[in-house]
Structure 1
Amino acid sequence: MAEELDLDNLKALKVLGKGAMGTVFLVQHNSYHVALKVVDKSSSLHDGARRAHWEISVLSRLSHPFLPTLLGSFESNNLMGWAVPYCPGGDLNHLRYRQTDHVFSPAVVRFYLAEILCALHHLHSMHIAYRDLKPENVLIQQSGHVTLTDFDLSRTLSPTKTNTSPSKSHIPDTAPRKPRRNFRWAPLTKAPKSARVTPAARRAVLSFEHSKSFVGTEEYIAPEVLRGEGHGFAVDWWALGVLAHEMVYGTTPFKGKNRKETFRNVLLKTPEFVGKKTALTDLISQLLEKDPSKRLGYVRGATEIKEHEFFRGVKWDLLTEVMRPPFIPSRDDVTKPFADGLDIRGYFQSLKSPPSLPPSPLRSPSFEFQKNVSSPEF
């Protein structure tokens, strides 16, 4: 059961990352290290406190080896935060850039996709659509296995009266280094200039049976989201296809010179593949079907995708027992702190200091990666 954390007793070792939702710290808690995500309620934009409460509620319900576990949380007048297990291997995007030609081998792609697929399967079984799959949100545990992170864009999906079968995955959404930009907009036809809708507009979206909210990361957004026609679990299968393409080719399939061109490509462009057709390119093609009702996974969800030829031979029930994942993080220097650590309250106070004062140091965590990952045995 998650414990109530005392912020005054938490000393951060360093900053792991900073985004629109908050800052993630590496924290020494008792005898182990945790990742602590903290949101400044007094200055957070886009209804950050509500979204933080939502993410905590999702984490508190998760119980899966490839998903994070809520270890504890706290809330004060200005700050709120929650702790999850620390993943010293960094994210999948960082790891890919350490590879020769910045790509993974098909065997490594199969290993990571299989574990991500299992995580998404579990979320969907709980009627939760993830809606923010991308390499930066796939973290590598100390064991070498993956875990998904960041659930503020996820939403609970409920069956409709005309579709009550639990085997159907197309349940409508009833609620609503190079960093990639996340967008949370109103329908495309009424998109405001701001990248985020107002809290009032968000509440209006929540009341509709089919979500027409514009949610996701630019290069990973599904065509049905762009068209504003409502979306469900199939957006996660689309994102899985984009992720697979990026892992094997080093780039997303629809990236344009600007946002407008990227969105046009998502709607109109057919993904291109180098060389002869393989089981992997066939999987990607079926996941990147622009009509969600024809997309692999639409009818029977993850079970349908697991049956694809690319995953032939995968022992799904034994994935957690794989002793030789493609990459095992080094334990050396991953928890090296700043000189005296960081005071979390002081950190957020420093962000509000006048511009003339020196900014607080922000640096990415330093990880020792193997130059190339090896093919897993499973």
Structure 2
Amino acid sequence: MEVQMEELRQQLEKQTLINQELHKQNNYLERRLQEKEKLLQNGQSHYHHLEFPAQRSSNEANLEVRRSRAAVMAPEPILEEQLEIMTSKVKKTVSETSLIVKAIQKNDFLSRLDDEQITMMVELLVAIDIKPGNNVIKEGTEGDSMYIVAAGELLVSQTGQNLRTLTCGDVFGELAILYNCKRTATVKAKTMVRLWCIERNTYRTIMTNKSRKKREQLMGFLKTSRTLNTLNDRQLSKIIDSMEEVKYHNNDVIVREGEEGNTFYIILKGEVLVTKMMNGQQKQIRKMGKGEHFGELALIREILRTASCTAVGPVTCFSIDKEVFEETIPIEHLKLHDSEVSNELDVPGKTSVSSSLSLTDLIPVLYQEGRYQGEPVTLGVGGFGRVELVTTLQEGKYFAMKRVSKKHIVAKHQEEHVLFEKRILKATQSDFIVRLHFAFKDNRYIYMIMDFCVGGEIWTKLKEVGRFDEPIAVFCTACVVEAYAYLHKKGIMYRDLKPENLMLDAKGYVKLVDFGFAKELRHGDKTYSFCGTPEYMAPEIIQNQGHDFAADFWSLGILVYELLVGSPPFSSSEPAKIYPKILDGVLKFPPYMSEGAKSVISKLCRPRPGQRLGNTKNGIKDVRHHRWFSSINWQKLRVGRLEAPTIRLIRKGPCYINFDRFPFDRDLAEEEFSGWDENF
């Protein structure tokens, strides 16, 4: 008994120690998250001051406004009035709703409405009471309302002759909700009558809104198709006009692997499970939801389905078959790449990832252990989105997927910046800048599929060790100098340098990531936006004096200081106190910092932009030639042949071991259909 008690006691002590360690780790992670959030909030507090990457004339700005209004369904004053009408929903009992729905369904015109339109109409019908002998409609007058009889009797007459009697559930006056027409008969209450009524403005608003939104959705869905994305809006509109709505029940097989395909589908409602036979077993590939499509190659060639698609619960699709499609769009108008042939269902095939990857090919990598075991790996969290680790089923290649809410982009007026970021990264061919391989979008997010830098963030490594030894700081900064040289030569300012935006690849080389603040600028011009991370802002930005490429060199000096010290030279828990420190410009160096480091920081962080190292007549050559970089062979660095001292910072283990861990975000962003990302 005593032996058992002692064993239990030891187990309890051991478990207590484990719990304490876990508690410490949790506290540490929470502190890290709070630190990151604070930095993000500081950096985002001035987002509303950001201007678009390219300056516009006032006329162009007005055109931009007019284009955005054109997308709205009615002129603004009318729209506000109609929205007010639409919010005035009238609650109805179950029996009242049933009566209205039955009346709509038996009416030849109204029965064409879909379920959502009927629901909206039911909500917006208002009740009116008519006394016996009063006219509801008078022959020859203009009308603007439709009616459904809720109770009582009405007499219909024309040119003085009685035609019929209307009773509960009958519909009349429906043409008036389509256009301003004259009434062809008189309708008079025989008894006390209650009617459900809807006016033309209300009806047209709900129908127009619904139809336009649905069409915009479908247009957006079609534009994500690699086979159809070369078609213009007019051609895509023709396809939409030719598509049909089809409904499926739970477990209905929509597409069966191995069968001949002749139909293209877009999911409007519900979920579709994609499975593929592998090693004699059905392997679940993924679930597809609203807006996703499959079967596109069946429209243009004879092909067997490469996977099965099954309805999960009720599913509604928009579909078009090959025969109808061929009558709609000439085949020569399509641009088909050979690499697309084996990915008919956008599931992993045998083609090269680099030539034919689609969003549906990407599978989240899951944590294999720890508190988030089994959840998708999140590499980073920012104010504008998340970066997740994904892979491909067939090749097993890893990518970092940046996922950003479109709604949030619009709310923060960052549409132009996001488009510019994508354009820069897509065109960039530098080993010191993260490469964008693919860009996708759906109703909720834009996705950027980029290099996965297995070594993790410099910021994470810096926090792990406190501060870097000088050789590591020199090497990291040299990589940034090469990235700057590439960007500045192309007329691009970076404007968001900080350890969080520097990543280590497998060789220990540093890559610049996150180009959300980047801007094109002609040498000699200035820009006046207020952006960046407070601790890294150059004084001319704070003073609204106009800034250029010199601001990047200021932030380079701040980076060198933080790498060597562990924190930037001008910092405070209150952002408002950071700016005076920057303007004062007093640099305090710790005693362990080398003279070379002090010199390069002081020259990069000169208050006057024209005096900064890198911004004088010799340009970035002066930075390379500074004695602090004497250990760097720039030619070997550029070709990747210089041994990276950072390699010892990279831990071995699961592919995500060098990253902080974050809980998976299960909340979906709201859908966004403004169309700003049409060419994303």
- More off after superposition, 38-47 vs 241-250: 38-47
Structure 2 unaligned regions, length at least 5: 1-352, 366-376, 658-662, 671-680
Separation (CA, whole Å) in 2 of partners of 1:39 and 1:348: 13
What's the counterpart of residue 217 of structure 1? 533
- Residues 39, 52 of structure 1: 8 Å contact kept: no
Shift of 1:348: 4.9
- Residues 3, 73 of structure 1: 8 Å contact kept: no
Separation (CA, whole Å) in 1 of partners of 2:436 and 2:495: 20
Kindly indicate whether residue 643 of structure 2 is the aligned counterpart of residue 305 of structure 1.
no
What's the counterpart of residue 283 of structure 1? 600
Give percent identity, aligned residues only. 28
The equivalences for 1:1-378 within 5 A come to 5-13=357-365, 14-29=377-392, 30-44=395-409, 45-99=411-465, 102-159=466-523, 171-172=524-525, 210-275=526-591, 278-299=595-616, 300-319=618-637, 320-328=640-648, 329-335=650-656, 347-349=666-668
Which one-letter code corresponds to 2:611 in the other structure? K
Shift of 1:277: 6.2
Secondary structure, counterpart of 2:389 in structure 1: strand
Aligned pair count reads: 295
TM-score by length of 1: 0.73
Query: Hey, which of these two has a bigger chunk of helix by percent?
Result: 2
RMSD: 2.4
TM-aligned CA distance change 1:298 to 1:2, over 3 Å = farther
Separation (CA, whole Å) in 2 of partners of 1:53 and 1:4: 22
Separation (CA, whole Å) in 2 of partners of 1:5 and 1:47: 30
Shift of 1:2: 6.7
Which one-letter code corresponds to 2:621 in the other structure? T
- Residues 2, 60 of structure 1: 8 Å contact kept: no
- Residues 539, 582 of structure 2: 8 Å contact kept: yes
- More off after superposition, 321-330 vs 224-233: 321-330
The superposition leaves residues 109-167 of structure 1 with CA deviations (integer Å, 9 ceiling, x where unpaired) of 111111111111111111111000000001111111110100010001113xxxxxxxx
Of structures 1 and 2, the larger Rg is shown by: 2
Separation (CA, whole Å) in 2 of partners of 1:32 and 1:272: 46
Q: Which has the higher contact order (CA 8 A, sep 6+)?
A: 1
Shift of 1:324: 4.3
Separation (CA, whole Å) in 1 of partners of 2:598 and 2:565: 11
- Residues 494, 519 of structure 2: 8 Å contact kept: yes
Separation (CA, whole Å) in 1 of partners of 2:571 and 2:656: 35
- Residues 105, 248 of structure 1: 8 Å contact kept: yes
Shift of 1:31: 2.2
Which one-letter code corresponds to 1:239 in the other structure? S
- Residues 34, 84 of structure 1: 8 Å contact kept: yes
Query: Hey, which of these two has a bigger chunk of strand by percent?
Result: 2
Which one-letter code corresponds to 1:261 in the other structure? K
The superposition leaves residues 262-312 of structure 1 with CA deviations (integer Å, 9 ceiling, x where unpaired) of 100000131011238601111101111011111111123321111111112
Separation (CA, whole Å) in 1 of partners of 2:550 and 2:382: 26
- Residues 471, 645 of structure 2: 8 Å contact kept: no
Separation (CA, whole Å) in 1 of partners of 2:641 and 2:477: 16
The superposition leaves residues 25-55 of structure 1 with CA deviations (integer Å, 9 ceiling, x where unpaired) of 1000342100011122134431344332211
Secondary structure, counterpart of 1:237 in structure 2: helix
